[in-house]
Amino acid sequence: MINIILIGFGAVGQGVAELLYRKKSEIERLIGKYRVVAVCDSKGSVIDENGLRIPDVIERKKKGAFDGKKSIEVIETLDYDLMIEVTTTDVHSGEPGLTHIRQALERGVNVVTSNKGPLVVAFSELNRMAEKKGLRLMYEATAGGAMPLIKLAKNDLAGNEILFIKGVLNGTCNYILSRMEKERMTYSQVLVEAQELNIAEADPTYDVEGIDAAAKLVILANSLMEMDSCFRDVEIRGITEITPEAFEVASTRNYTIRLIAEANREKRILKVSPRLVPFHHPLAIRGTMNAALIKTDLAGDVVVMGRGAGKYETASAIISDMVEIYRKRYE
């Protein structure tokens, strides 16, 4: 029996809980029996060591914040095998996720997270800690949401050297730029629309100033290209100064503008900036989609695209990490 604690119960946390409930028989066919023994939000928790009934937890949450033990106490005292950490990202302090992940690894349990903050702030420390203890720390959802990227590069491209990655890693910016391209609207007119899609960060400056894309780039550079980088290493320019006229000029030469994140180890490039992209290039995708072009020494160019945000999309990446951890043990 895999005992799970779920830390964070916003949109992503609720998406994960719903999938763990709704897809229980499919997931158990892959990994064996599991149960959720605790769910925490920022105020407290609900706990049942025999397994919580998720619809009851969601109903309970509708009535307000949880009032049981605080997340840190749950992490330190309960008996469990896997922590799913989906609290809000803070790329500067990494908290509260950083403390949660440190404590869980310290206690000897596997961790799956969608929280970019802890990995941006302490990538090597956390990975070394997990490795030393023979634990798994999985974070597919942190960079590109449901777009298969980290496991694809680590598993399916194993043996390749990744020479560079260029990607559209922020759905909010891509939506704004796509709308500006099509309707020639101004940046501020479209921002409100983008926020209504519920994929923007709690603080949308994280999106439009390129901070969210830079955080994802640090995680990709460190996990797939051994660049040992930190947030300060990224040269960042967001999309706030892009005008509708810029699209006009670009389109006369069959180009559009996208916020491109680029990591290149040999050239020591770590950069997020608006770039001209030919209309028919794979990175000229529209709407809230994410895309990445991975240049490798053996497989050549590999292009992936998918949904970089959203309740169930992000939860999908978390479930796939969980299956990756436990599948082998039960095969």
Would you name the residues annotated as active-site residues?
Answer: 216
Q: Who's near 100: CB < 8 A, 6+ residues apart?
A: 7, 71, 72, 75, 83, 85, 87, 118
In angstroms, what is the minimal distance from the CB of 317 to ligand HSE? 11
Cβ pair 277, 256 in contact under 8 A: yes
Q: Residue-wise over 73-88: b if at least 16 C-beta within 10 A, else e?
A: ebbeebebbbbbbbbb
Q: What is the distance between the alpha carbons of residues 282 and 48, in angstroms, rounded to a whole number?
A: 47
Name the nearest CA neighbour of 153 among 105, 82, 225.
225
CA angle, 307 then 312 then 313, to 5°: 20
Nearest distance, CB of residue 80 and ligand HSE, angstroms: 26
Report d(CA 261, CA 299) in Å as an integer: 21
- DSSP, collapsed to helix, strand or coil, labels residue 164 as strand
3-state secondary structure of 39: strand
Q: How far is the CB of 9 from ligand HSE (least distance, A)?
A: 17
Cβ distance to ligand HSE smaller for residue 170 or 264: 170
Of residues 137 and 173, the one with the C-beta less far from ligand HSE: 173
Provide the minimum distance between the beta carbon of 173 and ligand HSE in the complex, in angstroms, as a whole number. Answer: 7
Q: Which residue has the tokens 């060591």?
A: 49
Q: Can you give the binding site for ligand HSE, defined by CB under 6 A?
A: 170-172, 199-201, 207, 212, 308-309
| Distance of closest approach, residue 273 Cβ to ligand HSE, in angstroms | 16
Instruction: Give whichever of 78 and 263 is closer to ligand HSE, judged by the CB atom.
Output: 263
